Structure 1
Amino acid sequence: MTTAPTRPSTAQAWSDVQLLHALEEVVETELNRHLKVAREWMPHEYVPWSDGRNFDGVLGGEAWSPEQSKVTDVGRTALVVNLLTEDNLPSYHHEIATLFGRDGAWGTWVHRWTAEEGRHAIVMRDYLLTSRAVDPVELERFRMQHTSTGFEADNSHSVLHSVAYVAFQELATRVSHRNTGRESGDPVCERMLARIATDENLHMVFYRNLLAASLELAPDQAMRAIADVVIGFRMPGHAMPGFERAAARIAIGGIYNLRIHHDDVLQPVLRHLKVLEISGLGAEGLKAQEEIGLYMDGLAGQAAQFDERRAALLARRRKD
């Protein structure tokens, strides 16, 4: 068993090294829980291989065209964004492995998480190409551009900021996959994305429980990290080509937007952790807690305005 270091005084902040050491028992517990509940699944079982045929190029097959796709237009946009996000796994692995380390329970989790996430890109690409859901040439060019850019976390590279970010990001990814599947119009796609979303939910629970332990261990620092992440949150795929245009289509399509972000991502984590109810905080923690409350109030207002604009836009489209 790992022995936690002596708790710093209220005037002294935890260092990342101290936090990694102190949280290792929690990581080990959560890792063991995860391994018990996670179910093995095979990506190839979710791909409609019998629908596949050669593309044009060296094999002289048929060129892709939009009418070959079984998924809706907005579903196609979301699928590309979701896959390109998963494609950046090497950068994500580098980020968390560099911060969390490769030894002990932390390292075991990092590699297990990476292996599970790798399946998501595998099955999504196999599905998209086999079913001709998206333009394969555009997809590959986007992948090359996006992964060549890499990924770097927006917030400072601290343990608590990283734990807070992934607690929200994993839930956001789960919600995006599930909503994309429902919108896609293809039952095969929906089943595939529902399977991926199950993994993402387990990952969210791991990080959320780790964040809960962090709030107990270093409440002021954890609260500050949560405030920074909530207020500055961006999806990990924000740097991909054409993201702003794609995000707008996805928002109008009801896959991921301000309302969903507020109601289905931020609120569930904040409520589960009772972030706005925690007492006994120091000055910095109280300030961060107040910032979170004010931000969520403002975001609720923005979401309401977005709902009105979206409803009006959809009504105009129905008339046209």
Structure 2
Amino acid sequence: MTMTFTQLDLLRELEPTVEANLNRHLSMTKNWNPHDYVPWDEGRNFAEMGGVDWDPDQSRLSELAKVAMITNLLTEDNLPSYHREIAASFSLDGAWGTWVNRWTAEENRHGIVMRDYLVVTRAVDPVQLEQYRMEHLTNGLDSPLNAAFLPSVAYVTFQELATRLSHRNTGHACADDVAERMLDRIAADENLHMVFYRTLAGAAMDLVPDAALEAITDVLLNFQMPGQSMPGFRRNAVLLAKYGIYDLRQHLDDVVMPVLRIWNVFERNDFTDAGERARDRLAAHLDDLRRAAERFEESRDRMLAREAARAE
């Protein structure tokens, strides 16, 4: 017999799961200080304070690393929008509110440390970076989730894992020990956040299998990274995919499939016809993703081969 739950019912039923996993998270997370990951001895004044303003020659990062760092930072910068969305989806009562505020505080460190690193090391143009930040936060987040709990918890599960992967790959691209250490620290946070949301979504699926899988399927069919509204996002996303920071194959093999396996989506037998239809839609989408990833890889390999030939 399939039980029907309102959103309020789900929040009440899942609050013990939230509390238990909040305690687990607090026992596993490492409290760290952004200032410990920034090479402050490289800092110097800009012209307004009697120093020298930024010049491209001052940066030690490649163009790829700069684009990746800016994209990741602007994604973190939009935290006010994410807090609003998650608070509306999860509520601020009891353990829910404790988690939402704790998550927000942890995420805020990511933007702080990345901006400090970029400004102190003069890795990017700080004036342009601030212009991008203002534009991105003014645009806000145009979320299609409508503060609904099930699609929201599904989305943040995949998004946190995707962000973890992007940060780690960006750290490698920087070819800078300080940047890599900093981004590995951020990625570790993102992984713990993903585990929290993945566990919560799994518990929701046990309560309402059909509705949960329908939400997961809809999220994956329409998945977009949260930086869509930032300046130059599409152009930057193409560059990041081209050079392996985050591409379709990684999205499928390293983000989507590991989570679906944890949830046993294709092994469960507790779906009704509605859930089975959602599972069929999801399977078809995954097949489409595999084909698209193969086409992209073939095209990318040809493009990179041409670039290598021209460089000889």
- With normalisation by structure 2, the TM-score equals 0.97
5 Å-filtered alignment, 1:6-17, equals: 10=2, 13-17=4-8
Q: Provide the C-alpha distance between the structure 1 equivalents of 2:255 and 2:143, rounded to a whole number of angstroms.
A: 19
RMSD value, Cα: 1.1
Q: Do residues 194 (structure 1) and 184 (structure 2) align?
A: yes
- Specify which of 50, 61, 70 is matched with residue 71 of structure 1: 61
Structure 1 residues 235-273: Cα deviation after superposition (integer angstroms, max 9, x where no partner):
001111110001011111110011111111111111111
**Counterpart of 1:262?**
252
**Counterpart of 2:206?**
216
5 Å-filtered alignment, 1:224-239, equals: 224-239=214-229
- Specify which of 269, 278, 303 is matched with residue 313 of structure 1: 303
**Counterpart of 1:124?**
114
Q: Provide the C-alpha distance between the structure 1 equivalents of 2:103 and 2:207, rounded to a whole number of angstroms.
A: 24
- Contact preservation (8 Å) 2:88, 2:147: no
How far is 1:319 from its partner? 1.3
Aligned-partner residue type, residue 114 of structure 2: M
**Counterpart of 1:43?**
34
Q: Provide the C-alpha distance between the structure 1 equivalents of 2:277 and 2:146, rounded to a whole number of angstroms.
A: 19
How far is 1:167 from its partner? 0.5
**Counterpart of 2:9?**
18
Structure 1 residues 179-229: Cα deviation after superposition (integer angstroms, max 9, x where no partner):
000111111111100000000000000000001101100000000010011
SS at match of 1:157: coil
- Specify which of 270, 293, 297 is matched with residue 280 of structure 1: 270
- Contact preservation (8 Å) 1:180, 1:255: yes
Q: Do residues 85 (structure 1) and 72 (structure 2) align?
A: no
Aligned-partner residue type, residue 39 of structure 2: P
How far is 1:156 from its partner? 3.8
The structure 1 segments of at least 4 consecutive aligned residues displaced by more than 6 Å after TM superposition are none
Q: Provide the C-alpha distance between the structure 1 equivalents of 2:177 and 2:144, rounded to a whole number of angstroms.
A: 36
SS at match of 2:266: helix
Aligned pair count reads 310
Q: Provide the C-alpha distance between the structure 1 equivalents of 2:112 and 2:55, rounded to a whole number of angstroms.
A: 23
SS at match of 2:246: coil
- Specify which of 29, 45, 58 is matched with residue 54 of structure 1: 45
5+ residue gaps, structure 1, are 1-8
Q: Do residues 289 (structure 1) and 294 (structure 2) align?
A: no
Q: Provide the C-alpha distance between the structure 1 equivalents of 2:137 and 2:146, rounded to a whole number of angstroms.
A: 21
Q: Provide the C-alpha distance between the structure 2 equivalents of 1:299 and 1:282, rounded to a whole number of angstroms.
A: 26
5+ residue gaps, structure 2, are none
Percent sequence identity over aligned pairs: 54
How far is 1:280 from its partner? 2.4
Q: Do residues 242 (structure 1) and 232 (structure 2) align?
A: yes
Identify the range of structure 1 (276-285 vs 84-93) with the bigger mean alpha-carbon deviation. 276-285
- Contact preservation (8 Å) 1:81, 1:237: yes
Aligned-partner residue type, residue 115 of structure 2: R
- Contact preservation (8 Å) 2:46, 2:54: yes
Aligned-partner residue type, residue 91 of structure 1: S
